[in-house]
Structure 1
Amino acid sequence: MADEELLFLPLGGAGEIGMNLNLYGYGKPGKPTWMMVDLGITFGDGTHPGVDVIMPDPAYIEKHKEDLAGIVLTHAHEDHLGAVPYLWERFGCPIYATPFTVSIVQRKLAEVNLLDIVPIVEVSLNGTFQVGPFEIDLITLTHSIPEPNGMAIRTPLGTVLHTGDWKLDPDPVIGEPYDMPALRKLGDDGVLAIVCDSTNVFTKGTSGSEGDIFESMKQVVEGCEGRVVVTCFASNVARLDTISRVAKAVGRDVVLAGRSFWRMIDAAKENGYLQDAPTFLDEDYFGDIPKDKVLLICTGSQGEPRAALSRIAADEHPRIYLNENDTVIFSSRQIPGNEVSIGRLQNRLVRRGINIVTDKDEFVHVSGHPARDELLEMYQAVKPQISIPVHGEIRHLTEHAKLARSAQVKEAIVNENGGMIRIAPGPACVIEQVPSGRLALEGGRVVPLDGELVRGRARALWNGSATITMVIDKVGNVKGDPILTTHGLLEPDDCDFEDDILDAAEDAVERLSKKDLRKDDIVAEAVRMAVRRYCRATFNKNAVTTVHLVRV
């Protein structure tokens, strides 16, 4: 054992919120056996045009896939399992998860024809199982989705508690209450380190209970005269239950808009959840229900342009419409970075005379992540020697480390993606930095986020593009007039600029030597650079320039 070490390496979710990929290693230095915990995605924020899904680059562990014993999924949120369909083939190892999470991941794998290929091991709630050298005890916690699992990871060098996403909800609505006796027993037995959620470390007090929302939401909906829309995350199964019970209590039928809702509800019912919920109706029924008797639940709380609510706000949805004095309730938090898109969506609704209600107006949302008092209660129960904050931006991780030290934790390590921590033996510290990039889902392909495809599109978006088609003969004489096509660079009536660009292209050819005129690559590059220089000097734009050279 003296020659072995216990490692923790985040490749996603440390220094950011979302896109979780965590690795635990145990064994001899330089040749550990690895276990992956979660493999998630995040969603595009408009920074990279055309990119909707972003995931961590697993290149480091892909190189060591023969030493990867398995992937454990803590729960079924997209930022913890959404990358499995796109990246699993790079590893080929078993996946471990509890029943509800298995149902969700199976549906995702079926969409990419991997369902019968991926080995999935279903683990019971509070179950114990082995992944390579790691013995795992699951501990039931609470969150906004069924079956959020903390993981007690036992090794000969000590036990690590990996919390996943959690809160301490005394009335969780869906699923079992959190298992505080198990946490306390774990603490009494001795915990070497805790790898813990940092999302709400700046929030004082507690996050609030899902069970407390019902009465407040009911009062809000009772005060609405027209149609009511509630927008929330499709994965928030507890909220779906709460909203549906509110609708029943006030005499409204529940209509769902968004395919992701149906997937989540089917998986929930498959595992014994939502059994007493009122019937959910398809969006086709929306127009047949009187406006004071309908409550629509839809996706799009973050202002996503393709989600149902954005199309409804723009009056572009084929089956759902809203009128003046209808009401939209935002039953979700505002994810950092989405402020502009959410504000744009809400302004569009208000402009049409539609009422909006947010968590700043009424008690219509509670977070699924622990606030400061819950974090302190966790530390008091578990009593770890080492705190490793994750699931937060650098400011969250730093504040979490301060909080841990205030709770008498001996060591607290602030670490971002790519920092390999040796938890034991010896003082915990970052011993190596490994590559930790990002990948993008682009047209069904997984490509580097910083690769030419995505960067080239961004350049064209910000600088415009110009394509020159030029015909020359064997000795380099220009034949006929070149053709210019631009996007995002010229107005339709900018004929003078177009003529100047074409003149610059022809001048570039005329300045070449006879020898160079016989080489297509030299001619094309001379034209390209001439056009780019003109655009930079005239428009202050580095236009993406392409030359089609035809030799006759």
Structure 2
Amino acid sequence: MNLNLYGHDGQWLMVDCGVSFNAPLDPVASETADGEGQKDNLYNVVAPDPDFIVKQRDALAGLVLTHAHEDHLGAVPYLWPRLRCPVYATPFTAEVLRRKLAQVGLDGKVPLIEVNADVLLQLGPFTVRWLAITHSIPDPFALHISTPAGNVLHTADWKIDAQPVTGKPFQHKLYQSLGETPILGMVGDSTNALKPGMSVSERSCFDGLFATIQPLTGRVVVSCFASNIARLISLARVAKKTNRYMALVGRSLTNMYSIAKSQGVWPEDLVLADVNHMGYLPPHEVLLVATGSQGEPRAALSRLALDNHPQLELSAGDHVVFSSIVIPGNEDAVNRLLQRLKGKGVHTLLSEDSALPIHASGHPCAEELKLMYHWVKPEIAIPVHGENAHIKAHCTIAKNSGVRKTYAGNNGDLYRLSPQAGIRRQWVKAGRIPIQK
């Protein structure tokens, strides 16, 4: 649930504006509540409280989006009426946002400016450059933000992927070149800082999924994150090689597929089947991709497990493959889903239990972080996007990589980078607001 503000010379630049799902307004209180209390405190959609910047929105130069994941842009349709600033995004991300704005009656009302990779844009005192990077969604970007006080690299979500299924391979030389000019600070992704080594390439998932699915009989259902277009493309190729028809089950999947088609990301030779026809096919010819990998009760996979999906049903001997991780906090919901499926005689496979790579994280592990620090050479490391343990581990990696200063903070802290570096604790009112109960 990202919302970042950079301040200089009396103005602010907002980077990303996301939501969280099935979350409490007060995580600390929720952790200490009993099970029923936790359920009562959860909201379907939660956004960051923008009160601090809303009170000075005339000083907001713009909102810049790094990529199209919900935790980076999902709050824009709900919070923009309070912000009233221009929004800047690259084409794929802009199209995702455009459709979300239309759902809340803001189509054509938000000044949404499309930008291209490597462009330089002057937003108030901030010079912003979009830097191509690899992640688990098309069109991801890091940001190089310059002011007279210094330069900052805002990595957003990233990984080093030499063989991505969509987009270009990670550009080492681009990030090595950043180290040739002083980088005051690097604000970076900490999600996998506790994991050693390198992340798995998205290309490896095709091999793992093909080897997993090829010998299976019965229907195969794969559940993955809807925004992972590369995974959908890999699954379509698996379907083609295993002589199965593939269809998408769930609105978010069909929407992202439609966007990928409109943006030229989806390969023309990969044709999907109509989900309404899948029930008439022999089970060994069916490959379904369904929403609901986190056990969401209203998602397609839960409805299939409960036999209340209007178009399809699963039978004993079918298979459900989870090409995703179980996000912390969703363990109980996923376990309930697994029990329902097993009760129907459906075989299940979690990515955590697979001997083959059937899921790849979109975030950097420890060795990738070390490489980025080696290339960029920032004076200050500011780990973000993770829990305290991840941020502290990220700080250790940065220190061991030769970074002079590292700052571990919390929501609401103000990081002062220049002229005197430091943190002002709880300087900004930070919290969460409910969007949907």
What TM-score bracket applies, with the shorter chain setting the length?
A: over 0.9
Amino acid aligned to 1:211: R
The answer to whether the aligner puts 1:306 opposite 2:274 as a matched pair is no
The answer to whether the aligner puts 1:128 opposite 2:116 as a matched pair is no
Conserved 8 A contact 1:241-1:277: no
Residue 368 of structure 2 corresponds to 374
Residue 399 of structure 1 corresponds to 393
Cα deviation, residue 270, structure 1: 1.6
Conserved 8 A contact 2:46-2:436: no
More moved, 40-49 vs 138-147? 40-49
Alignment of 1:262-341 (within 5 A): 262-276=254-268, 278-341=270-333
Residue 155 of structure 1 corresponds to 147
More moved, 266-275 vs 328-337? 266-275
**d(CA) in 1 for partners of 2:107, 2:123:** 21
Residue 441 of structure 1 corresponds to 435
Q: TM-score, normalised by structure 1?
A: 0.75
Of the three residues 190, 204, 222, the one matched with 1:198 is 190
Percent same amino acid at aligned positions?
A: 46
CA offsets per residue over residues 205-238 of structure 1, 9 Å max, x none? 1111001111221111111100000000000111
**d(CA) in 2 for partners of 1:179, 1:25:** 29
Amino acid aligned to 1:38: D
**Gap runs ≥5 in structure 2:** 24-37
Amino acid aligned to 1:73: L
Alignment of 1:89-488 (within 5 A): 89-276=81-268, 278-359=270-351, 360-361=353-354, 362-430=356-424, 433-442=427-436
Closer/same/farther in 2, CA of residues 50 and 337 from structure 1, 3 Å limit: closer
Conserved 8 A contact 1:139-1:179: no
The answer to whether the aligner puts 1:26 opposite 2:26 as a matched pair is no
SS in 1 for 2:273: strand
Cα deviation, residue 49, structure 1: 5.5
SS in 1 for 2:117: coil
CA RMSD of aligned residues (A): 1.3
Q: TM-score, normalised by structure 2?
A: 0.94
Cα deviation, residue 126, structure 1: 2.0
Cα deviation, residue 182, structure 1: 1.5
**d(CA) in 2 for partners of 1:299, 1:131:** 38
**d(CA) in 1 for partners of 2:58, 2:296:** 39
**d(CA) in 1 for partners of 2:281, 2:422:** 61
Alignment of 1:483-502 (within 5 A): none
Cα deviation, residue 432, structure 1: 5.1
Conserved 8 A contact 1:231-1:309: yes
Cα deviation, residue 100, structure 1: 0.2
**d(CA) in 2 for partners of 1:436, 1:277:** 48
CA offsets per residue over residues 463-519 of structure 1, 9 Å max, x none? xxxxxxxxxxxxxxxxxxxxxxxxxxxxxxxxxxxxxxxxxxxxxxxxxxxxxxxxx
Conserved 8 A contact 2:233-2:266: yes
Segments ≥4 residues shifted beyond 4 Å: none
Residue 28 of structure 2 corresponds to none
Closer/same/farther in 2, CA of residues 88 and 253 from structure 1, 3 Å limit: same
Count of residue pairs brought into register by the alignment: 421
Conserved 8 A contact 1:244-1:277: no
The answer to whether the aligner puts 1:60 opposite 2:42 as a matched pair is no
Amino acid aligned to 2:191: T
Conserved 8 A contact 1:245-1:277: no
**d(CA) in 2 for partners of 1:281, 1:367:** 28
**d(CA) in 2 for partners of 1:214, 1:287:** 26
Q: Which has the higher contact order (CA 8 A, sep 6+)?
A: 2
Alignment of 1:507-526 (within 5 A): none
| Pair member with larger Rg | 1
CA offsets per residue over residues 226-269 of structure 1, 9 Å max, x none? 00000000001110111111011101011110111121112112
Amino acid aligned to 1:418: G
Conserved 8 A contact 1:99-1:123: yes
**d(CA) in 2 for partners of 1:177, 1:155:** 29
**d(CA) in 2 for partners of 1:215, 1:392:** 30
**d(CA) in 2 for partners of 1:375, 1:396:** 12
Conserved 8 A contact 2:159-2:364: yes
The answer to whether the aligner puts 1:35 opposite 2:29 as a matched pair is no
Conserved 8 A contact 2:413-2:423: no
More moved, 213-222 vs 154-163? 213-222
CA offsets per residue over residues 353-411 of structure 1, 9 Å max, x none? 11111222232101010111111111111011100011101111111111111111111
